[in-house]
Amino acid sequence: MTSDQGRLRPAAKYARSLGELVDHYADSLVLLDLTAREIQFTGLAVGTSDLLPGDVFIAFQGLKTHGARFAVDAQRAGAVAIITDDAGATLLRDEGGASIPVVVLRETSTQRALAGDIAAWFYNYPSRGITTVGVTGTNGKTTTTYFIDAALSGGDHTTALLGTVELRVGQDSIPSPRTTVEAPVLQAITAMASERGATALTTEVSSHALALDRVAGAKFDVVAFTNLQRDHLDFHGTMDNYFADKARLFAPGLARHGVVCVDDEWGVRLADNAPIPVDTVASRPGSPGYETAQWRVTQATIGLDNVGSSFRLVGPGGIEVTVHSPLPGLVNVSNAALAVVVAYRSGVELAAAARGIETITAIPGRMERVVDDADHPLVIVDYAHTPDALTLALEAVRPITAGRLVIVFGSDGDRDQGKRPIMGEIAARLADVLVVTDENPRSEDPAEIRSAILAGVGRVRPDLSDVVEVSPRWDAVARGIELAQPGDTVIITGKGHEPTQEIAGVFHPYNDRDAARAAVSADS
């Protein structure tokens, strides 16, 4: 089955022959059957799920298996040829089944980067005709890309936005399966965005994508770094490796200019060593890079009008602008400041970028106000699912809460177990009323996850006062809202925009925003 992202292709017909391909990449590719030179292909895919009829299937040695094992599926889905390495060619020969021409890679170690490069060549280097921005960092990528999208729009750009929540070109949007799409998908969407009149494209760039060369072939005008916190060590092994993978985005072949948030030491290290020109941005006096940053946030007023924040951003040579961030909390001051500088370095006037930021109404599942009227408590849905993010989220809503702060939360199954009691402790310390429930239990027993969270809660509140345990999550959201009054805030954390809840291998349709709205209408 072809994924929705695989369908995001330009309407214009792109076609090249295998002969053109191997001539262009004569140092890297060999066509085994010379009679196949005239065969035309109309796209590329690195996985069968993204493949359309007429594509070349690029079959990698993956982390788990070899793509060549899916050659028969690829041919059945309409692939006209396969690019693979020696091991893949041997597999195809030994296992048989697929009867389409094979192009062999001379060098296996650069195969993923080559896939991006070939896709860029195939679509005539689409990032050359459009302003492109890439954002990396542990937290804040999604939020910052929405801010950047708004700031670029403030400069009259027609925009495209790719990331964890959606793949959006103009007014068309589909849910995103990934933070960063595969390289041929990225090139196809960039070509499609250009074709539809987009003048700027912003994408989130995950550390997985950088390690696996999913942005190879792109050329970013501006790249940005938000922060680095402990995460994904199962994949990267150490923080130094994780940092090194993030830093790959700041390479001369991939990006022209960088904008780095230096509120943490990792940002300072990145800016000090980046081989491309960078601007540094700091949002917090006292943070590691504040004194030396080229751009500094001053006069920040957090919780302004019980909604967002306003601040002054002062840059090189004394240029400055006032920015109103409609999202609450200091982290969104930092995200908005970064976005303004990115837009500025993309050619947008500072004041226009700041005006763009003000137009943001909501970012799906990121501090999103889903119920906001005088008759009910304020209900916010947020994606915080790590201890750091939970702390920041609760600290962000406290100043905009006149009454009590109610949190509905859980913790993921089949993921870091150590964070469960820590998140319980944080919620018990920073919120008034706790509704402990399920997130995505996956293969684990949901009751055991809740009990690990409650153990942490108990360290702060031994009598478990104002703490309830409710499952399923839909009922927990209703309970949280029932326990609150107008003037209180109910924050539902952990699942953000997610449209499903994963329980015992099954993805059940579920969304926190729907649950909250249903609870409020049942109550009205």
Ligand X SMILES: Nc1ncnc2c1ncn2[C@@H]1O[C@H](COP(=O)(O)OP(=O)(O)OP(=O)(O)O)[C@@H](O)[C@H]1O
Closest to 347 (Cα-Cα) out of 458, 222, 517: 222
Q: Is 35 known to sit in a ligand binding site?
A: no
The option from ligand X, ligand UAG, none interacting with 140 (CB < 5 to 8 A, set by class) reads ligand X
Q: Which of residues 285-324 bind ligand X (CB under 6 A)?
A: none
The option from ligand X, ligand UAG, none interacting with 142 (CB < 5 to 8 A, set by class) reads ligand X
Write the secondary structure of 182-215 as one string of H (helix), E (strand) and C (coil).
Answer: CHHHHHHHHHHHHHCCCCEEEEECCHHHHHCCCC
The option from ligand X, ligand UAG, none interacting with 331 (CB < 5 to 8 A, set by class) reads ligand X
The option from ligand UAG, ligand X, none interacting with 208 (CB < 5 to 8 A, set by class) reads ligand UAG
Please give the Cα distance from 414 to 412 (Å, whole number): 7
Q: Tell whether residue 142 is a contact of ligand X (CB under 6 A).
A: yes
Q: Tell whether residue 331 is a contact of ligand X (CB under 6 A).
A: yes
Q: 319 vs 76, 297, 391, 493, CA distance in Å? A: 59, 12, 33, 38
Please give the Cα distance from 308 to 496 (Å, whole number): 19
Check if the beta carbon of residue 236 is closer than 8 Å to that of residue 259.
no
Q: How far is the CB of 253 from ligand UAG (least distance, A)?
A: 20
Task: Name the E strands within 255-386.
Answer: 255-261, 278-282, 295-304, 308-314, 320-325, 368-371, 378-382
Q: How big is the chain by its Cα radius of gyration, in Å?
A: 24
> Of the listed pieces 48-56, 183-191, 381-389, 502-510, which binds ligand X according to CB under 6 A?
381-389
Q: Which lies closer to ligand UAG via its Cβ, residue 116 or residue 289?
A: 116
Check if the beta carbon of residue 382 is closer than 8 Å to that of residue 491.
yes
Q: Is 140 known to sit in a ligand binding site?
A: yes
Q: Is the sign of the CA dihedral 121, 123, 124, 130 positive or negative?
A: negative
Residue with tokens 């292709």: 9
Q: Which lies closer to ligand X via its Cβ, residue 83 or residue 392?
A: 392
Q: How far is the CB of 390 from ligand X (least distance, A)?
A: 7
Q: Which lies closer to ligand X via its Cβ, residue 104 or residue 393?
A: 393
The option from ligand X, ligand UAG, none interacting with 298 (CB < 5 to 8 A, set by class) reads none
The option from ligand UAG, ligand X, none interacting with 132 (CB < 5 to 8 A, set by class) reads none
Is the backbone of residue 42 left (phi > 0), alpha (psi -120 to 50) or beta?
Answer: alpha
312-339: burial string, b at 16+ Cβ within 10 Å, e else: ebbbeeeeebebbbbbbbbbbbbbbbbb
End-to-end CA distance of the chain: 43
In the chain, the amino acid numbered 492 is I
Q: Tell whether residue 283 is a contact of ligand X (CB under 6 A).
A: no
> Of the listed pieces 135-143, 152-160, 301-309, 478-486, which binds ligand X according to CB under 6 A?
135-143
Please give the Cα distance from 440 to 123 (Å, whole number): 39
Number of residues that bind ligand X (CB under 6 A): 20
- Closest-by-Cβ residue to ligand UAG is 62
Q: Tell whether residue 179 is a contact of ligand X (CB under 6 A).
A: yes
Q: Tell whether residue 280 is a contact of ligand X (CB under 6 A).
A: no
Q: Which of 236, 366, 419, 479 binds ligand X (CB under 6 A)?
A: 366
Q: Tell whether residue 227 is a contact of ligand X (CB under 6 A).
A: yes
Q: Which of 61, 164, 194, 346 binds ligand X (CB under 6 A)?
A: 164
Q: Is 359 known to sit in a ligand binding site?
A: no
Q: Tell whether residue 228 is a contact of ligand X (CB under 6 A).
A: no
Residues that bind ligand UAG in the complex, under the rule CB under 6 A: 46-48, 60, 62-65, 67, 70, 178-180, 182, 206, 208-209, 212, 235
Q: Binding site, residues?
A: 48, 137-143, 179-180, 206, 214
Q: Binding site for ATP, residues?
A: 137-143
Which parts of this chain interact with ligand X (CB under 6 A)? 139-143, 164, 179, 204, 226-227, 331, 334-335, 366, 382-384, 389, 392-393
